[in-house]
Structure 1
Amino acid sequence: MHTIADFCVIPMGVTASVSEYIAECQRVIEKSGLKFSMHSYGTNIEGDWDAVCRVMKECHEAVHAMGCPRVSTSIRIGTRTDKAEQNMEDKVKVVQEILAKDRAA
């Protein structure tokens, strides 16, 4: 099943800056071969349900391997069966087209 997820890994029990931990998660995601887009408070990732969930698990494992004692993750997952596969760019494009009509009016 095609899945788009937005997730935010939160390393806990470490320093205030978690950039190094997030960079390691991004390395894990890049190695997965899945389509992704990092943003300021998380990452969107797209692919097969099992592959997306596996990558999120691997992010947890990687952060723990760096010595982080606790990891919390906020996750939102979306799937559709009423349309052909819609990717991350398609979802954004639809909203941008609506806004462009507003500006043209």
Structure 2
Amino acid sequence: MSSSSDNDLYAVADFCLIPIGTANPSVAEEVAECQRVLEKSGLKFTLHGYGTNLEGPWSQVSKAIHDCHAAVHAKGALRIATDIRIGTRVDRDTPFGEGNDHKVRRVQDILAKSSTSPES
């Protein structure tokens, strides 16, 4: 069973923080502020075109998302909506920090095998 030393579930989250009611239609400044918060969290994260992947103990992942909200509010956003998708698993050991990397490598390996196999 996969867990940290304090029995906190290992979580892989994908979230999209959406500031509402800012004077600028771009949210790049707010996203950058959230990325600064995540850098300080010590968690593994990856920014992508429509959000951020975040990995670590569930309690730290949820705290980091909370801290992003607080930081973006501090920059002047009056409202924030956030879509969050979180996955956990306990059927096998997943080393901390390898959640998404392992998933991506697995798919890449399957694609590599199918592209090198002879056509039927």
Among 90, 96, 99, the residue aligned to 1:87: 99
> Per-residue deviation at 1:47?
0.2
Q: How does 1:29-68 map to 2 (within 5 A)?
A: 29-68=38-77
- After TM superposition, the score normalised by the length of structure 1 is 0.97
Alpha-carbon distance, 1:88 to partner: 1.3
Aligned residues: 105
Which residue of 2 is the match for residue 21 of structure 1?
A: 30
**Percent of aligned positions that are identical:** 53
Measured in 1, the distance between the counterparts of 2:77 and 2:10 equals 31
> Structure 2: how far apart are the matches of 1:59 and 1:74?
13
Q: Report the secondary structure of 1:51's partner residue.
A: helix
User: 1:104 maps to which residue?
Assistant: 116
Q: Please name the residue that 2:16 is paired with.
A: 8
> What displacement does 1:83 show?
1.2
Q: What root-mean-square deviation, in Å, do the aligned CA atoms of Structure 1 and Structure 2 show?
A: 0.7
Partners of 1:97 and 1:18 lie apart in 2 by 35
Q: Deviations over 1:46-104 (max 9, x none)?
A: 00000000000000001100110100001100000111115210010001011111101
SS of equivalent residue, structure 2 residue 91:
coil
TM-score (norm 2): 0.85
Structure 1 unmatched runs, 5+: none
Structure 2: 5+ residue stretches without partners: 1-8
Corresponding residue SS for 1:95: helix
